[in-house]
Structure 1
């Protein structure tokens, strides 16, 4: 649109310049002829005046001299006016040429601006496409990673369910089998009945504990565990822990406790917290072997947390590795992570160590 408008304008300017040049040339030619005629008349007048002077008629010669000078002045004025008109014409012509060049320059600048805008638009479009492609690649990589995690989790869960089904089936078979023996076999004496009854009770208790652990694990994984939260003085809690461990282990576990906690306070479910700690200090299965366990507590005021360390924990001992032990480890991990703590297990030179932290309140 702009280009179709500019081209006719340039043609008109060119025609105008040509017309002006033609007019100037015609005027110059007319002026030149008129100047020649005036100059010829002046020369004739001067020759006549010179002849009259020679013939002794100075008064008449003076008239011709004056007429020639007057004609020469008019000639000079004519030439001056002609030159002024020529200068004005050249000025107008230069002005038209300048306007033409300005329009030319404006057209080029407009084309340049449009080209720059198009290049910037293409560049931004390429950047957007590049970023979109990178984002898609990142999302695809994340989807593959999550898919791999989900498949691994499903495999672990399937393995877990298989082992749980096996363990539950064994316990149920023991309970059902010995119950049938007690009800169907009338020849059992009192000693055998007490023995079978003890087996049924122990298997029933273990089955209930296993089911409760599985339910607790499911609630923690779904973040649906309900806690009775309250403030707990760590030092007072530590004073009662050794006696609790000795009583529940029937004296087979000797706990050496070192607590440097000042007056630290934690906000927790005391019953559940005690149960979690006890699972690390007691045998995960029935065992009558004496065991010495070291436990250290340090209050880190800078991080506002309690650092725990348990040495020679039965729960972390590979000798007691089982499905029940794995469930308890998972429950402990999820419990401390729920309260913004940490939990990890290390084996250093056959010495199983459990490290965990729990946030403390600012006192």
Structure 2
């Protein structure tokens, strides 16, 4: 702006100097004198010369001003184009970055999803492998146990049947042989029943015969029956403060559980007591079978309810009894476990809902 003013002042100075005659009298003063003297034609020509010089000066000033404005406009236009170009490049860069980010996110999502599917497939494969190995192991244990367990009572049946066919044996020997044959027949029948039970209870849609039952009366009947056929010197007792307790259950299955628990206790309790107890806790019946036998080591508790698990290889049985008990109790809506806090023998406890469970 200051530069423009200085240029204008310089041109005005040139105009003033050009408007001065050779005798150093300004043209405008001559025009004024000519006007005063009545020489209007000369005054007109002088004014025309002044107007021409002024127009020339203004034309020069405005021309330079226009050139300056044109230069400024061109510079601004170049700046605007550069800015637009930079904005375009920035937009391309941001768009490319967003596209790459979205592509990377999609790739990560697909990768994680595939990795998750692969992990699940590996887990399923590992589970199937473990189930297959467990199945093979169970089959081997089953065949081994059954070959041993079945051979023992069959040998007894065969041997003592031959004795009965001999001549000259006395009545005491006959009664003893009959007793041994009966016991081994019962043992063989129990082995077969265990195998049938474990195969039937595993069926997902097997229906239980649920009806109303007095648990106290059922427990008393089981204890009286087991006391008559026991193979131990230990007393089998029942204890409960309840006169009666009505529950909805499959009485034959519940009786089977109680008998299995008492039979297991009698195997390891040669003397002392085996006590079946019953009490009510909230909306559940609470059963317990407690013995004063040798007990079970804590490190073996986790194996108790496994199939074909025999903690004492010398004891009779297939190792299916406790497994069958757990299957039955869980189907009836309860649960069974060993009481690890009891140290004077072994105590198995299980719960049973008073009302029928909807999915039984």
Contact 2:262 2:274 in 1 (8 A): yes
Contact 2:277 2:287 in 1 (8 A): yes
User: In the aligned structure 2, how far is the partner of 1:161 from the partner of 1:218?
Assistant: 15
Contact 2:289 2:347 in 1 (8 A): yes
1:207 to partner: Cα distance: 0.9
Contact 1:343 1:356 in 2 (8 A): yes
Contact 2:156 2:184 in 1 (8 A): yes
What is aligned with 1:230?
A: 211
Which is richer in helix?
1
What is aligned with 2:275?
A: 294
Is 2:88 the partner of 1:106?
yes
Match of 1:356 among 344, 350, 354: 350
What is aligned with 1:206?
A: 187
Contact 1:259 1:296 in 2 (8 A): no
TM-score, structure 1 as length reference: 0.69
Is 2:336 the partner of 1:343?
yes
Contact 1:245 1:255 in 2 (8 A): yes
What is aligned with 1:66?
A: 47
What is aligned with 1:216?
A: 197
What is aligned with 2:56?
A: 75
User: In the aligned structure 1, how far is the partner of 2:128 from the partner of 2:91?
Assistant: 54
What is aligned with 2:228?
A: 250
- How many residues align structurally? 320
Contact 1:46 1:65 in 2 (8 A): no
What is aligned with 1:170?
A: 152
Is 2:104 the partner of 1:122?
yes
107 and 251 in structure 1: CA distance in 2 versus 1, 3 angstrom threshold? closer
What is aligned with 1:24?
A: none
Is 2:320 the partner of 1:327?
yes
288 and 74 in structure 1: CA distance in 2 versus 1, 3 angstrom threshold? closer
User: In the aligned structure 2, how far is the partner of 1:114 from the partner of 1:247?
Assistant: 86
Greater relative contact order, per chain length (Cα 8 Å cut-off, separation 6+): 2
User: In the aligned structure 1, how far is the partner of 2:195 from the partner of 2:241?
Assistant: 32
TM-score, structure 2 as length reference: 0.70
243 and 269 in structure 1: CA distance in 2 versus 1, 3 angstrom threshold? closer
User: In the aligned structure 2, how far is the partner of 1:195 from the partner of 1:293?
Assistant: 27
What is aligned with 1:277?
A: 258
| Partner SS state of residue 324, structure 1 | coil
Deviating more after overlay: 105-114 vs 322-331:
322-331
Deviating more after overlay: 330-339 vs 195-204:
195-204
What is aligned with 1:21?
A: none
| Partner SS state of residue 198, structure 2 | helix
314 and 250 in structure 1: CA distance in 2 versus 1, 3 angstrom threshold? farther
User: In the aligned structure 2, how far is the partner of 1:289 from the partner of 1:169?
Assistant: 25
Q: Which runs of 5+ in 1 are unaligned?
A: 1-31
Deviations 1:42-87 (A, max 9, x none): 8555316838979x97446744542243124423542464324642
User: In the aligned structure 1, how far is the partner of 2:139 from the partner of 2:164?
Assistant: 37
